[in-house]
Amino acid sequence: MSKSFRSLPNVARPLALAALSLAIAGALVPNAANASAFQLKENSAQGLGRAYAGSVTAGNDVSVVANNPAAMSELDGTYFQADVTAINFSAKFKGTSRDAFGHPIGGGNGGDAGTTLPVPAFAFATKVSDRVNLGVAFDAPFGFQTEYDSNWMGRYDAIKTKLQSLDATLSASFKINDQWSVGASAIAERTSAELTNAINFNAIGGKIIGGINDQLAAGTAQATAAVTQIEAGMAAGQISVAQGTAMIQSIVAQAQAGAAAAEAAKAGVAAATPPGVDGMARVKGDNWAWGWQIGTLWKPTANDRVALDYRSRISHDIDGTANFTTTPGYDLLLANPQLGGSIPAFQHTTGTARLTNPATATLSYWHQEDKFGIGADLAWTQWSVMRELTVNYANPSQPDTTLPFGWRDTWYASVGGEYYATNQLTLRAGFALDQAPMKNTNRDPRVPDAARRMVTFGVGYKVTDHFNLNASYAHIFVSHAGVAGATSATGDVLTGRFSDYGNLLSFSAQYKL
């Protein structure tokens, strides 16, 4: 029973389409330094020195334009502030990886996937009347980058991941009375993503071979049933011995020819898709979207300030493009007219997806004395918006893909303070705890995050009555980041753990007219 590739249109297509779909979807999914997942807080060197305790209530920090517009009412005059934070993040993996058939995947542990990147921020605020302040800020509230060795064992999950959200914020505050102020902001946000990963053509080839084996087994069962039926007819005298013998010999010959053709086909597929000879996917996407923010500031006493801020979620309709590199062997399969139509060509394509950056809410407190100030922050991030992501494709023959994430909301808590050593010198310190939105069961190598503890130190120097300089350092201790079976588009399973840590070094300059 002769078999050919023509009978295999449904064997490889689902797996290969999954590889294509998830490669595109990966580009539309984000994947931070001192905040969970890919959230960033690094727009204030002063705030970092206190672990962002009293982030918007400590005073004399123009970053409140982006963090709580109501606190601008405490800025008397016109201010310019520039901050830059160097984020050093390390992520090293140790574990194993197996393909969809249980075979070990070769390659190392990926090296150090972390990097060092600068995160700039700028803010301007001015008092336009006794009650009204206006401000504008530019910062990056979300961002992340990891990059592994190109031949590491988890290359089918991720090689490079880069996400960046850039915000332009226009804010206004209104001072109701000496105790209460309110504020609001309009936010324009551009989010961009770039991701790469290898494509496991060996897994696609293995699925094709599995389909050939299934069809060969079905053909053998049909031949056996036919022979049994002929033998029964011969025994009943319905078919002559000579005729029956000839029919059985013909069936056996066809079965042997089919088996030989199947073995040749399997050998050809195996030779065209050997282990470790991979393709590559590179995907990019971006979008502009709008959001808003509201805040309030309350001064119950002359020495105490309490602030509450809410920043809206911002939904992006990301447009992505995907480019692929195939292998000579896979190109041979595509060139085969009996098989090429059953597997995707991994050609340039486009896709769109609704990606939502989470809403946040922050409660901030500060107590001020002549020689010191102490404060605390409690912040909530709505990571539960990352339950799943649905990707819609321009190609009508390719069904939509829904990817589960199952992230959960997180809390960030910090305490910190300042000591005024002299009229010019300020010393700062703080400590923070930060939850992670994912667990071992849904953590992947693109965002190898876990719960964090942060210790910070900072110093401020008043150069003149109009010019201040600030510097801060933070070290981030990251908890065990286990990976309990991250699965790639082609069924490859990565298991192990990440050892992570982070360092932040921040500087700022502030000038008051």
Q: What residue type is 133 in one-letter code?
A: N
pLDDT at 487 over 60: yes
The pLDDT tens digits for 131-159 are 999 999 999 888 888 999 999 999 998 99
Q: 160-169, 266-275, 316-325: which range is least confident on average? A: 316-325
User: CA–CA distance from 300 to each of 61, 365, 376, 377, 399 (Å)?
Assistant: 20, 11, 16, 17, 58
pLDDT 10s digits, 378-398: 999 999 988 877 777 776 655
Q: In sequence order, which residues have a C-beta less than 8 Å from that of residue 198 and are 6 or more positions away?
A: 150, 155, 156, 159, 278, 279, 280, 281
Q: Quickly state the pLDDT bin for 285 (edges 50, 70, 90).
A: confident
Using 50, 70 and 90 to split pLDDT, how confident is the model at 323? confident
Contacts of 96-99 spanning 24+ positions with Cβ under 8 A: 96/153, 96/494, 96/495, 96/496, 97/153, 97/154, 97/492, 97/493, 97/494, 97/495, 98/492, 98/493, 99/200, 99/202, 99/203, 99/206, 99/490, 99/491, 99/492, 99/493
pLDDT of residue 397: 55
End-to-end Cα spacing for the chain: 89
State the CB neighbour count (10 A cutoff) for residue 481.
22
pTM, two decimals, is 0.84
Q: pLDDT at residue 300 above 60? A: yes
Cα–Cα distance measured from residue 109 to residue 93, given in angstroms and rounded to the nearest whole number: 6
Q: Does residue 67 contact residue 42 with C-beta atoms inside 8 Å?
A: no
pLDDT, averaged across the chain: 87
Tokens of 231: 């033998």
Please compute Rg for the chain using Cα positions: 31
pLDDT of residue 440: 87
* pLDDT tier for residue 413 given thresholds of 50, 70 and 90: very high
> Please, what is the Cα angle at 510 between 121 and 171, to 5 degrees?
55
